[in-house]
Amino acid sequence: MPKPLILVTNDDGITAPGLRMLIRYMKDLGDVVVVAPDSPQSGMGHAITIDSTLYFKRVVTDPGDGALEEYSCSGTPADCVKLALQELLPRRPDLCVSGINHGSNASINVIYSGTMSAAIEAGIEGVPAIGFSLCDYSWEADFRPAEKAVKQIARESLKQGIPEGVVLNVNIPRTRGELPKGIRVCRQARANWKEKFDKRTNPSGRDYYWLTGEFELLDKGMDTDEWALAQGYVSVVPTQFDLTAHHAIQELNNWSLHE
């Protein structure tokens, strides 16, 4: 029986340390093919390229990582998955994993995440998919404590399958060298960003802005991803790409819309 085929992608770019570690972890579970952006694409969400051409090239980044093939792509994370599924892979993958992202994609961050959008794109195409993120934005972040949990979740996804229409959003706490306490299946915490724009002026007199802000947790529940991460657990949130607010349909049907 052939090994599972695992597509690995990310949004931090093909040379990102988090991606390189994810490749190494996945090679123990199956045959790995990498299709990732040729430059960082953080915060791109589910953007796709429609007004310019896409390019890819075969690359050899680190033969020791264990990938069968690697491709860098000029497009977004979602572009990478589309191109992989339609043009580059020898067959349909058994699993798509995205990451390991440098920084949290818990709570409201999932909306903006290129990491999760790549996984969601695979999920839309019916491929079981997981987005992995480490709550450490440093390029020198230590991904080694995440290995056990990443492999365990990926292995169980291959074995058990992921529910149809669901993509797993996995976030790993920063543990400073220690193993996480365990894994918790959670709901997405209710939170927001209190955004600010740092206004400056360039030497020619033109104003420009840097986006800044503070994360505001609005949810004190003990069953959320933010709670689990704060307690030292890996959080697993089953995320759906059907954005219908089903609970609101009946209320809207009571509006005077059909007269």
Annotated binding site: 11-12, 42, 101
**Omega of the bond leading into 14 within 30 degrees of 0 (cis):** no
Q: Where are the alpha helices (DSSP H) in the chain?
A: 17-26, 77-83, 114-124, 147-160, 225-230, 249-253
Helix (H) or strand (E) holding 184: strand 183-185
131 closest CA partner among 163, 153, 147, 155: 153
Cβ partners under 8 Å of residue 60, min gap 6:
70
User: Are 188 and 107 contacting, i.e. CB atoms less than 8 angstroms apart?
Assistant: yes
Q: Which residue has the tokens 């600010």?
A: 196
The number of residues in the chain equals 259
CA-closest candidate to residue 76, choices 37, 50, 102, 109 = 37
**Segments of 45-164 assigned E as strands:** 56-58, 69-73, 95-102, 129-134
Binding site for a divalent metal cation, by residue number, is: 11-12, 42, 101
DSSP 224: B
